[in-house]
Structure 1
Amino acid sequence: SWMTNQNVLSQIRVRLPYTLLIGLLSVLVSVVIGIPLGILAATNQYTWKDSLAIFMSLFCVSMPQFWFALILVMIFALRLGILPPVGIKTWTGYVLPIVSTAVGAIANIARQTRSSMLEVISQDYITTARAKGQKERNVIYRHALRNALNPIITIVGGIVAGVLGGTMVTEQIFSIPGIGSYLLTAVSARDYPVIRGSVLVISIIFCLCMLLVDIMYVIVNPRMASELK
């Protein structure tokens, strides 16, 4: 590094766990909330639940991440004082960064889940499963959701890559010593070795995420493996 005269790889090794932890927890929260929200909207199409889910998804997608992060700091850290505004010395320090990162991803996953579920629910085999007297919960989760997972996996894979590679703003706002803030500082200082090293690591993470998505396709839908053969 031209700025600190330290080995770039050793600095990335120290900072990478913070970025991975926040990114993966954000994606986990997004999946846990986004998929059930999309299923709820799809199974209650044209009702107030569907309208509310669509409105909240559009609102969250349209909301700038940095603005939402600052709003969270103002409310929960400065006004209520229940969460720390910066730093990750305790587990409470992870709450605001994870929430601010996950909100947009929740909206995207919910919208894709709703769209995929609506397409699958209208298929003949879903009607047949219902006609056989299977419980609605079993029809939705065992038959419909399983066949609607491929598009959801695609968007989740993109979100994982985007979150892990694009946490610069979040890390900068909350003073998290991750790769994102390291890269942003290097760009400001024109520290080209750090920029090259950070971009290389982010690119590798992105490629691994896309590879994992392809593997998940085959796991979720074994028919794809036979088609590839």
Structure 2
Amino acid sequence: MMRFAMGRLLIAIPVLLGVSIVAFLIIHLIPGNPAQAMLFGSNPTPTQIHDLEVRLGLDQPLYQQYGKYLVGLVHGDLGTSFVTGRGVFSEIVSRAPSTFVLSGSAMLIAIVVGVPLGIVGGVRPGSFWDRAGRVISVSGVAIPYFWLALLFVLIFAVRLRLVPAVGTQGFSSLILPAVALGWGYAAILTRLVRSRLIEEYQDEYIKTARAKGCGETRVLLNHALRNAVIPTITMLGLQIGNILTGAAAIEVIFGRPGLGSFLVQSIAAKNIPVVQGAVLFIGVAYVLINLVVDMLVGVIDPRTRKQVTV
């Protein structure tokens, strides 16, 4: 298992390096001058803009700026925010818990809704709950999460006044954003679990288990579901990145002060160190979560460990 984990970590190193390069280049390709954006409203002269660029190091070639950025990463320094003057790491850490709570809640909703509906649909195709699960699947895939979020705000916050529309005032303010973000992934889970169980029930080993006198509950839990859950867990790990990026739009809509909304604001302000640090932080979180998922799959199915070479 240790060799398996080390193999995954070694694979993650070039991935994170690629993430840092992409984040560095994309923010420089966005139109606008960071120094001019920082001096906006004070009618800056070209000299003032140039002086600020020199102070921030923006007058240097891109390869030199990226080289300094990598040196800072080696020493655990993500840089300093152009806007607030605070360390990027502290800025990110102060906002990350809100994003992780939202993302975790959305994933929990996806699991709680999607897995049971998928199991019922796979065990009893054509039943009422199977049809209900397919309705959720179609609606979840067809409706964008940001449009669903706006619809929830209009109905439950504005019209019915059941929950707050914006902010982080307790558990009630988390319901709408978590459901809006998790609904689509519940649909994906429902379809995946259902299709996998239907395939497993047609396999010969299920017929053998029944022939040996195993009850339907034991056949489901000990045989069919155990094999069906492996691709499901893998898919959940792959969807973590989508949920983290989707949280950015949800946080903007619901006014949540998380990492996603902070990243959007930083992109608009051309706050280069924050954008680079936030993207890298999300990349590291994604890699670590997928490492945990791979370890879990390796425990459930030891055959997967042999697929990694160091």
- Taking structure 1 as the reference length, the TM-score comes to 0.93
Are the aligned partners of 1:24 and 1:164 in contact in 2 as well (CA < 8 Å)? no
Match of 1:54 in 2: 134
- Whether 1:199 and 2:279 are equivalent positions in the alignment is yes
The question of 1:146 aligning with 2:205 is answered no
Residue 26 of structure 1 deviates from its aligned partner by 1.3
Where does residue 44 of structure 1 map in the other structure? Answer: 124
* Residue in 2 that maps onto 1:22: 102
For 1:154-193, what aligned pairs fall within 5 Å after superposition? Answer: 154-193=234-273
How many residues align? The count is: 229
Q: CA deviation at 1:64?
A: 0.8
Closer/same/farther in 2, CA of residues 213 and 183 from structure 1, 3 Å limit? same
For residues 1-229 of structure 1, the aligned pairs below 5 Å read 1-225=81-305
How much does 1:198 deviate?
A: 0.6
The AA in structure 2 aligned to 1:93 is S
**1:223 CA drift (Å):** 4.1
Shift of 1:29: 1.8
Change over 3 Å in CA distance of 1:226–1:10 after alignment to 2:
closer
Opposite residue 148 of structure 2, the aligned amino acid is: F
Q: Is the 8 A contact 2:158 2:165 kept in 1?
A: yes
Distance 1:5 1:226 in 2: 48
CA offsets 1:125-153 (integer angstroms, 9 cap, x no match)? 11122223322122112211001111101
Q: CA deviation at 1:48?
A: 4.4
**Superposed CA RMSD:** 1.7
- Determine what percentage of the aligned residue pairs are the same residue: 37
**TM-score, structure 2 as length reference:** 0.70
Q: Distance in 1 between matches of 2:194 and 2:86?
A: 49
Structure 2 residue runs without a partner (length 5+): 1-80
Question: Which has the higher mean CA deviation after the structures are superposed, 40-49 or 2-11?
Answer: 40-49
Larger radius of gyration: 2
Contact 1:30–1:105 under 8 Å retained in 2? yes
Shift of 1:226: 6.4
- The code of the aligned residue for 1:101 comes to L
The 1:185/1:10 distance shift into structure 2, 3 A limit, reads: same
The answer to whether the 8 A contact 2:244-2:282 is kept is: yes
Measure the CA separation in 1 of the matches of 2:185 and 2:278: 23
